[in-house]
Chains A and B, each alone.
Chain A
């Protein structure tokens, strides 16, 4: 038998009438008999629900509850499991494909943007020089070593022997140096000086009246002392070979 005081507190606990719930918890923790009495009264209180007139809930409620469960998905085996796993993975696969497509588009847009800039520069030059070529050839200058994202393109008209060179993402030359452009004329043994290139991450340089090659000349960019040199002395950074 437990203390009548605890019996009363245990009886009133399911009704929420306990004087000091914390004290009852402590007493229960120390005395398994009180725990047992608490449990008994909790069961009595639960059974009191049977005093209410019994009504079955609407069948729609069962369906609504079962449809709203958001717990773990049912475990399947065999063919159904494969199909189920495929269906579960489908959204992720679609997301990966979409991300890949977006990445591809971004790269393509960047590439096309650079080509467009070059073409615009050529168009501007064409406006200035009305007799500018109509059969322009575009070529990339290959980097000679690691130059990061720097990109150099050339537009050349073999009939008029003039063109435009465009540079993107070029770091500024080291102090006391300049980038210098050379035209590689197959009929000349030495590169022809085409001038010092303007500084800046992005720049265009018009080339005309430098050489009169028979075919398509090559081009090179080297790092030279400030102001340029009559012949290349520094490192060749970018180059494209002549193509006759």
Chain B
């Protein structure tokens, strides 16, 4: 995602923890597109996506010192924070009965300064690799992962939605994650 000569995200986070605004700006430039894309995919609303991206980056600024590299990369730390916030919002919407019916199709921004992947947004190499890896999963596996990951559904909710036993859903998700891990390892190695 960045030049081999530029500092790693984890190094930038260490600098951010000392109040380095320049490091923070660099980190923002690296991570904002994947985080915003994920938020947009999960929430389907540009305004809400911007809100939670802002929340996550302000949290990164204030809590950078709590980051533990032993538990994962800076990228996974920020993605986890964003997903948790997005899932909270999705579940809050469900409680209000406002949940959109379908999330299957890729959502396109409605305007503003966002750019679609197909048009002029540069798709990162990493994103392309993940899409390739997802393409190697079975439809069932991919479907379970997308429902869990992007819609924030619980295993029980997915089982009900797909009319499948709970154990089947868990096993399918496990196999999908394990296969993705193997594929991505192969790509990176």
Contacts and interface: CB of A to CB of B under 8 A. Distances in A.
A145 interface: no
Contacts of B57: 65
Interface in A54-83: 54-62, 64-66, 68-69, 71-74
A46 interface: yes
Contacts of B121: 54-56
B124 interface: yes
Interface residues of B, number: 74
A53 B106 contact: yes
Interface stretch (A37-45, A94-102, A126-134): A37-45
A8 B174 CA distance: 6
A38 B82 CA distance: 19
Main secondary structure of the interface of A (DSSP, over half): helix
Interface string A182-208: 000000000000000000000000000
A53 B37 contact: yes
A108 interface: no
B12 interface: no
Contacts of A17: 148, 154-155, 170, 173
A17 B156 CA distance: 10
Contact of A44 (B61, B117, B180): B180
Interface residues of A, number: 43
Contacts of A54: 33-34, 37, 117, 121-124, 127
B117 A53 contact: yes
A52 interface: yes
Contact of B114 (A11, A42, A58, A66): A58
Main secondary structure of the interface of B (DSSP, over half): helix
A71 B61 contact: yes
A61 B32 contact: yes
B54 interface: yes
A223 to B, nearest CB: 67
B40 A15 contact: no
A117 B22 CA distance: 65
Given A12-B173, A48-B149, A61 B54 contact: yes
Nearest to B144: A15
A47 interface: yes
A42 B54 contact: no
Nearest to B131: A51
Contacts of B170: 8, 12, 17
Given A15-B149, A15-B155, A44-B181, 12 more contacts: A8-B174, A11-B177, A12-B174, A35-B70, A40-B181, A48-B134, A53-B116, A54-B123, A56-B36, A62-B29, A69-B24, A74-B19
Interface of B: 18-19, 21, 24-25, 28-29, 32-38, 40-42, 49-50, 53-54, 57-58, 61-62, 70-73, 75-76, 79-80, 82-83, 87, 106-109, 112-118, 121-124, 126-131, 134, 145-146, 148-150, 154-155, 170-171, 173-174, 177-178, 180-181, 184
Q: What are the nearest 10 A-B pairs in CB distance?
A: A72-B19, A50-B127, A52-B41, A50-B130, A46-B76, A11-B177, A57-B36, A58-B113, A49-B38, A46-B79
